[in-house]
Structure formats: C-alpha cells, structure tokens
Amino acid sequence: MKRALLVVDVQNEYFTGKLPVTYPPGSLNNILSMIDYAREHGVPVVVVQHTAPQQDAPFFRKGTEGWNLHPEITARHYDHLIEKNLPGSFTGTDLEAWLRNKHIDTVVITGYMTQMCCDTTARQALHLGFSVEFVSDATGTLPVSNAAGSVTAEELHRAILVTQAMRFGKVLTAGQWMDSLA
C-alpha cells in the first residue's frame, strides 16, 4: 500500500469566514498532526484549495482572505497543490495523474467539509480504483439548514462516516491512521 494524504479545503473561510466548521472539535489540530506525521514517514501530502469560478461568489473567491489556505497549512511543507472548482478533487485537476505517476494506490481523506468535498473526493477515488482511508476526526462540518430541512453538524458528520464505511472507504481516527504507519 502506498498512500498520499489529501488535505482538502483547509481554508480561512471555515475558520474566520461565513462557513465556520464546528464539528468535530479539534479537527484542525488532527489534520496538522497528520501532516507532520506523514512528512516524518515519507507519505506525500497533497493540499487541495477550492476556488469559486464565479466573480460574485459569496465564498472562496480567488484572492480573498476566505479563499486563502489556513496559515498553519501554508507553514507546512506539502508535495503538491491542487486548485479545484467543484466538490471533487479529481474533477478538472491533475490529481489522478499525479497520484498514478507516484504509484500511489491509497488516498487518505482529511479536511472540509465532510459531506461535500471530502465525501465527493472519496467516492471519486474509489471509482478511479484507489483505496480510501477517511479520517473521522480530521474531517469536519457545520450545521446545515435549507429548503429540504436541517441537520446538526454532528448528525451530518456521523451519517457521512457511516455511509463511507458501508462501501467507499475505511473510516478511522487520526490516531489509528498514525499508528498504522508506525
């Protein structure tokens, strides 16, 4: 098994912007610990940054403070940066080619939001033949309310983890993942 750690959309919008991630607590610290551990153990780190293509987008407009990567991410070394415009990290990017060029067969999903870009990326990876490890306490979300109803952040996060474990990937904690590298 050859892994790559994907750090999906750890951008300021989720911390100081209009979409504050609230669940699970400590997800950013777990992501940072995983990046550091991956570096120590020779696991390549891919940072993914979402860019809204619309000039009037309320979130993730290129060049805005909310679009910027979280400063703790930019302070760390990573091997590859992907800029995406849709929830899936493989759509319209060179991610698949980069992974295949490095002979990587397993992607490790961390970042934001659990139910959107992390879940979509994990499903795409499976469809492309990659194994998936989805990290429960290094992904996160917020409560959602829209015309279809409302759901708490905890309920939404748990539902995606259960669904991931049914078919799409192995769900584990950051600690379990780091232990698997030791």
Token pair 């050859």 in the structure block, residue: 2
Contacts 24+ apart (CB under 8 A), 123-127: 123/88, 123/168, 124/88, 124/89, 124/90, 124/91, 125/90, 125/169, 126/167, 126/168, 126/169
Domains of the chain: 3-181 (3.40.50.850)
Report d(CA 27, CA 142) in Å as an integer.
Answer: 12
pLDDT, mean of residues 156-175: 98
Res 11: pLDDT = 98
In the prediction, which pLDDT does 59 show?
94
* Angle, CA 7 vertex, CA 6 and CA 12 arms, to 5°: 160
What pLDDT sits at residue 3? 98
- What average pLDDT does the segment 77-90 reach? 98
pLDDT computed for residue 78 by the predictor: 98
Q: Across all residues in the chain, what is the average pLDDT?
A: 97
pLDDT confidence bin for 86, thresholds 50/70/90 = very high
The 10s digit of each residue's pLDDT in 110-157 is 999 999 999 999 999 999 999 999 999 999 999 999 999 999 999 999
* Average pLDDT score over residue span 88-117: 98
Which contiguous run of DSSP H or E holds residue 105? none
- 178 falls in which pLDDT band (50, 70, 90)? very high
pLDDT of res. 73: 98
Sign of the CA dihedral 43, 168, 118, 28?
negative
What pLDDT does residue 133 have?
98
Look at residue 182 in the predicted model and tell me its pLDDT: 85
Integer Cα distance of 171 and 180 in angstroms = 13
- According to DSSP, the β-strands at 144-146 and 149-151 are antiparallel
Q: What is the pLDDT of residues 43-60, one digit of tens each?
A: 999 999 999 999 899 999
Q: What percentage of residues in the chain have a pLDDT greater than 70?
A: 100
CB 65 within 8 A of CB 12: yes
Residue 22 binned pLDDT confidence (cut-offs 50, 70, 90) = very high
What is the DSSP secondary structure assignment for residue 137, as one 8-state letter? E
CA dist 1 and 120 (Å) reads: 22
Q: Helices (DSSP H) in the chain: which residue ranges?
A: 27-40, 71-74, 95-101, 119-127, 153-163, 174-181
